[in-house]
Structure 1
């Protein structure tokens, strides 16, 4: 079990447009393939103009399969054509939960799947 964290740095002044466009065109198709995110945030203090997205996967194989399905969805491809105009860099990390947090993360994921 792990969480993938993706940090997108956006061109200054494009954060609101990026969030709006994602909500209108990207969110539904992404959730259809990946499930609900563990978190979706934008920076308020610190390194500005960043979107931070966290996705839960049971295994690296599950991640590869789901991301491959997403990448081949024409609606996602169309969304990316416009969304990429806002992005200057992307950083992806694979995060393992600490042993004392595993149970809490599993409970959170179960609640999200049932909502």
Structure 2
């Protein structure tokens, strides 16, 4: 198993709530349907601002390659890219392998827990 970390730097002139709304309604459904292995989407509180990180699990690099190619050909995903790509000024991808003592070492990884503690942009 491997984990892909994708980090996007969002244009400081784009409200993070706008990016997250567009991505979550346009892109995430297609990605979850095609890529599977969705582990989470995170925003920064400290450190580099206007940044999001998302994590995806794959069995191996070939599965990742095949699923990413399928995603690239998907019209729903292309619609999302047309809207969110101009909001992104830089991105970085990392492929990581779990250590033998990592609690996440194999698929499937249960990831569809409801978000109850925090919603970005909500008043505290």
TM-score (norm 2): 0.83
Distance 1:86 1:48 in 2: 14
| Paired residue total | 112
Deviation per residue, 1:27-46 (Å, 9 max, x gap)? 11110001141121011111
Alignment CA distance shift 1:93-1:107 (3 Å): closer
- Alignment gaps of 5+ in structure 1: none
| Cα deviation, residue 16, structure 1 | 1.1
- Residues 88 and 110 of structure 1: is their aligned pair in 2 closer, same or farther, counting only changes over 3 Å? closer
Q: Which is richer in helix?
A: 1
Structure 2: runs of 5+ lacking an equivalent: 113-124
CA contact (8 A) 1:5 1:52 kept: yes
In structure 2, distance between residues paired with 1:112 and 1:84 = 25
RMSD between aligned residues:
1.9
Q: Deviations over 1:48-103 (max 9, x none)?
A: 000101000110000000000000001111110110111000000001111101xx
Aligned positions of 1:23-62 closer than 5 A: 23-62=24-63
Partner of 2:57: helix, strand, or coil? strand
Work out whether residues 37 and 58 of structure 2, in 8 Å CA contact, stay in contact via their aligned partners in 1: no
User: Deviation above 4 Å: which 4+ runs of structure 1?
Assistant: none
1:77 matched residue in structure 2: 78
> Contact between 1:38 and 1:109, CA under 8 Å: does it hold in 2?
no
Q: Give the TM-score taking structure 1 as reference length.
A: 0.89
